[in-house]
Structure 1
Amino acid sequence: MARFHLALSSAAVALILASCAPTETAPTPTVAVAPAFQTQLLEDVRILASDEMAGRDTGSPGGEAARNYIVGRFEAIGIPAPAMGRLQPWEMTGRTRAGPKVYNGVNVLGMIPGTRVGDRYIVVTAHYDHVGVNDGQIFNGADDNASGVATMLALAADLKRQAPEHGVIFVALDGEERGLLGAKHFVEAPPVPLTSIAMNLNFDMTARAETDGKLWVTGTYQNPTFRPILEGIPADGAVALAFGKDTPEDTGSDNWVEASDHAAFHRAQVPFLYLGVNYHPDYHRPSDDFERITPSVFVSATSLSIASFRALDRALNR
């Protein structure tokens, strides 16, 4: 996550988590997670945040390996590609510690049709890139943002079991840490018209909520109709939804409106929400490793993320 304009980048990962679908009578249920899928969820993060991925920098062999892994997970879950194809390559100038550099990145796409609103789409995003190797140290980016990709793929698996009401486009974005490059390209060349996109739901850093026990929801100040939809979702374990980081009073690093890929959608006047955890001591450091994730906390945050999507999917366009 690029909450600061640092030369260090954030990672995106793939994981798969299963949860029981919410009942029709409960408007905002939590999502029960089966132990077997918790194992897969954590295994996906472990692989994507391993030294073998070498920090998943955009355009690097490690980034390509991560991308191939995500493609494999989409295929295993059964998420088809949109008509434009599974991969969306792009070339853009991004930032580095040494100055501007041209990057060749690739977004990974999947799509599920909606059962009620077939011509409107929720675009779910999570970036899979990270900063690679700096000064001889590998920045594995387990929370930033292997966790967000994992949560996205967990949602994808849940939607394969119970289809969404809206069409859903999943995008594992590349180049976030180099300047939101993949998100900017997606908004410029989406697989459906921008006017058909109901909202963007962006996951970036969803694992380490133990800092304050909160999964933050940013964007309800800009899109106030979303907040009542989510306010009734109860806490899951030790993690609860919290709203903020998006008002004029939230300044500097406490304002996350421009902090991650959702900013590209916001600039294009597409409604957005961003779900992510607060800063922790391993943020943008080589110590952001798989071993620092508390499984129960990550599972709770992912369950809340899935419940949030389900609530939005039910309420939008009513």
Structure 2
Amino acid sequence: APSPMGRLQPFEAQGRSAAGARTFNGVNILGVIPGTRRGDRYIVVTAHYDHLGTHEGQISNGADDNASGVATMLEIAARLKREAPEHSVIFVAFDGEERGLLGAKHFVEAPPVPLESIAMNLNFDMTARAETDGKLWVTGTYQHQNFRPILEGIPANGAVSLAFGKDTPQDTGADNWVEASDQGAFFRAGVPFLYLGVNYHPDYHRPSDDFTHITPSVFISATELSWASFRALDRALDR
């Protein structure tokens, strides 16, 4: 298992760039909090920390995509330091997501624990701007139908509620999110997953994806729903 103090997982992989495929060097950042009930089973909580960099002289800061997901993950970690989880939890800040899920693919190819000991991956990508439709979307319950009853009783928080979808055969192209973020690597490896994120907005993958466009109360509500989702899953799985 990873050191309780955390560790770095460097990797080299072929990925996408504006100029075509090239080799990227990346680093995943890992930490772990031991579980009290099922310490031998892991929930892997993830969020990518890379973004698009610069394009034509403009910096893409990636406030929603995905500083928000990293902040959500860190808030869950902070709370679990005060109130220990039932499962052991591996937190991973993935690199290289925007280049083709590179960090996530490396993690499942060189996992710090056996894949069969991972109860699920809970991935956060774009969790701040739920004002687009008032929803924090949960993707993956079509593939893992046992997860939905665990979550569908969670009430709305402020102006934000959980919604389920973006994961059926009828959801095509950009409306199918099963492999749209790092959970796709876990899906391909046969590891159960859920992805929590908001819908597209006009600042998606633009330099205007800045913190000034985030409404704090909406982000807080989505974060509380993310926390409630984690807690419900942690308590319900592996009974």
1:111 matches 2:32: yes
Asked if 2 retains the 8 angstrom alpha-carbon contact of 1:147 and 1:205, the reply is: yes
1:304 matches 2:225: yes
2:97 partner SS: coil
Q: 1:247 offset after TM fit, Å?
A: 0.4
The number of equivalent residue pairs is 239
Q: 1:83 offset after TM fit, Å?
A: 6.8
Distance 1:89 1:162 in 2: 30
1:196 matches 2:196: no
Unaligned runs of 5+ in 2: none
- Aligned equivalent of 1:215: 136
Greater strand share, structure number: 2
1:280 matches 2:196: no
Distance 1:85 1:294 in 2: 32
Quick one: which of 230, 234, 237 aligns to 1:313? 234
Q: Counterparts of 1:225-240 in structure 2 under 5 Å?
A: 225-240=146-161
1:310 partner SS: helix
1:225 partner SS: coil
Quick one: which of 48, 60, 67 aligns to 1:146? 67
1:143 partner SS: helix
Distance 2:5 2:120 in 1: 20
Letter in 1 for 2:170: E
Asked if 2 retains the 8 angstrom alpha-carbon contact of 1:83 and 1:191, the reply is: no
Distance 1:254 1:146 in 2: 22
Runs of 4+ aligned structure 1 residues displaced above 4 Å come to none
Q: 1:197 offset after TM fit, Å?
A: 0.3
- Aligned equivalent of 2:182: 261
Change beyond 3 A, Cα 1:145–1:219: same
Letter in 1 for 2:203: D
Distance 2:229 2:27 in 1: 28
TM-score, scaled to structure 2:
0.98
- Percent of pairs with identical residues: 81
Asked if 1 retains the 8 angstrom alpha-carbon contact of 2:118 and 2:191, the reply is: yes
2:98 partner SS: coil
- Aligned equivalent of 1:82: 3
Q: Residues 54-96 of structure 1, C-alpha deviation per residue, up to 9 Å, x if partnerless?
A: xxxxxxxxxxxxxxxxxxxxxxxxxx95379510000001011
